[in-house]
């Protein structure tokens, strides 16, 4: 039997077992698998789902927590993935990733919506971190928007990670820009895409056609990117949303983070940046000056601004610059 045929058979066996092979770093291979971790919510044990992708020889893993109305697909965008897939960028840099579905979304199980606070979601992330520790030397938690509030809460509550990457969340909310986003939220049970999940009325999603103005503007309108975003949109709960507002404005838990922190914002993020109330996202240096007071010296805050884009940074045509910066920071903190 020829070597090429053996390789093809091996690939088929791996795929049948639920694995996939994608290009890795320096000719290495990346192996992906579905993973779950149990977490107790009230009296019920729920499962948080993740997609774990490990480049050959990786010793560091990033736990990726998506924002409100997003799921794990945010970290592995299928439209022009060579530019927009955060997961692929990290794997190419030799960093393992596990892209999560927050409890209540994606392939994770769905508690009653009123139970989904930042503390509950942080407990679920902690369960994932614990499951990864025996395998990896370093664990970095990475969040986006609501997921960044979850990441902050997890890092402070459990003290079990070696670094924190916060994207799409500052301590200064630009209310004139943020309030219109809240008006686009409707019960998920009323949306054709999410109604089939049988969610209770407390689960919310965005109205059809609103995602560019809420999450991408002033970035360009790219139909392929927006189609992917709309097709993979998910849910959020009022308790998560309100808790995120409180953590960013009133309860600066971030000052209790004692591991390195990297903060990434879109230069045009109208939810959290710009006058009259937002952070200064005009440059990486300005962002550090604006947000630095919310972090302890031990955090050694690093900052990066994605120019010309709004809230959902992975969709930006300039995403590779931010991906590269995060990968370099991750290697450097070790």
Give the model confidence (pLDDT) of 57-114 as tens digits: 999 999 999 999 999 999 999 999 999 999 999 999 999 999 999 999 999 999 999 9
* pLDDT of res. 218: 98
pTM recorded for the entire structure: 0.91
Tally Cβ neighbours within 10 Å of residue 251.
16
Residues 251-269 have a mean pLDDT of 95
* pLDDT of res. 28: 65
Please answer whether residues 164 and 152 qualify as being in contact, where contact means their C-beta atoms are separated by less than 8 angstroms.
yes
Please answer whether residues 164 and 257 qualify as being in contact, where contact means their C-beta atoms are separated by less than 8 angstroms.
yes
Please state, in angstroms and rounded to a whole number, the distance separating the CA atoms of residues 221 and 226.
8
In 3D space, the residue among 116, 89, 84 whose CA is nearest the CA of residue 234 turns out to be 116
Cis-peptide, bond into residue 218, ω within 30° of zero = yes
Element (H, E) at 236: none
In 3D space, the residue among 73, 122, 37, 33 whose CA is nearest the CA of residue 234 turns out to be 73
Half-sphere exposure for 138 (CA within 13 Å, toward CB): 18
Exposed e or buried b per residue across 282-304, where buried means at least 16 C-beta atoms within 10 angstroms of its C-beta: eebebbbebbeebbeeebebbbb
Residues 270-291 have a mean pLDDT of 96
Residues 27-53 have a mean pLDDT of 94
Please state, in angstroms and rounded to a whole number, the distance separating the CA atoms of residues 251 and 314.
27
Residue 229 has pLDDT above 50, yes or no: yes
In 3D space, the residue among 314, 327, 265 whose CA is nearest the CA of residue 55 turns out to be 327
Structural domains in the chain, CATH included, are 3-332 (3.40.50.1820)
Residues 126-142 have a mean pLDDT of 97
Q: Is the pLDDT higher at 56 or at 245? A: 56
* pLDDT of res. 4: 35
* pLDDT of res. 189: 94
Residues 301-325 have a mean pLDDT of 98
Please answer whether residues 265 and 290 qualify as being in contact, where contact means their C-beta atoms are separated by less than 8 angstroms.
no
* pLDDT of res. 334: 72
* pLDDT of res. 284: 98
């Amino acid at each position: 039997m020829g070597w090429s045929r053996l390789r093809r058979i091996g690939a088929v066996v791996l795929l049948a077992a639920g694995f996939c092979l994608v290009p890795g770093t320096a000719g290495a291979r990346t192996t992906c698998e579905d993973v779950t971790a149990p977490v107790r919510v009230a009296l019920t044990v729920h499962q948080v789902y993740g997609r774990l992708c490990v480049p050959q020889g990786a010793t560091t893993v990033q736990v990726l927590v998506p924002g409100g109305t997003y799921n794990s697909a945010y970290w592995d965008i299928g439209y022009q993935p060579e530019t927009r897939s955060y997961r692929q960028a990290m794997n190419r840099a030799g960093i393992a990733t596990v892209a999560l579905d927050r409890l209540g979304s994606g392939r994770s199980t769905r508690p009653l919506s009123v139970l989904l606070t930042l503390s509950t979601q942080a407990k679920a992330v902690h369960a994932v971190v614990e499951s990864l520790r025996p395998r990896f030397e370093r664990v970095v938690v990475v969040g986006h928007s609501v997921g960044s509030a979850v990441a902050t809460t997890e890092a402070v509550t459990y003290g079990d990670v070696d670094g924190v990457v916060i994207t799409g969340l500052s301590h200064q909310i630009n209310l004139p820009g943020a309030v219109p986003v809240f008006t686009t939220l409707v019960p998920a049970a009323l949306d054709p895409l999410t109604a089939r999940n049988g969610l209770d009325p407390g689960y919310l999603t965005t109205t059809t056609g609103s995602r560019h103005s809420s999450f991408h503007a002033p970035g360009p309108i790219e139909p392929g990117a927006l189609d992917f975003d709309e097709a993979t949109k998910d849910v959020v709960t009022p308790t998560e949303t309100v808790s995120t507002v409180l953590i960013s404005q009133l309860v600066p838990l971030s000052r209790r983070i004692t591991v390195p922190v990297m903060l990434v914002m879109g230069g045009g993020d109208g939810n959290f940046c710009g006058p009259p109330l937002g952070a200064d996202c005009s440059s990486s240096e300005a962002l550090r000056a604006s947000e630095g007071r919310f972090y302890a010296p031990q955090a050694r805050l690093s900052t990066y601004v994605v120019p010309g884009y709004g809230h959902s940074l992975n969709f930006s045509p300039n995403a590779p610059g931010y991906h590269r910066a995060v990968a370099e920071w991750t290697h450097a903190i070790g």
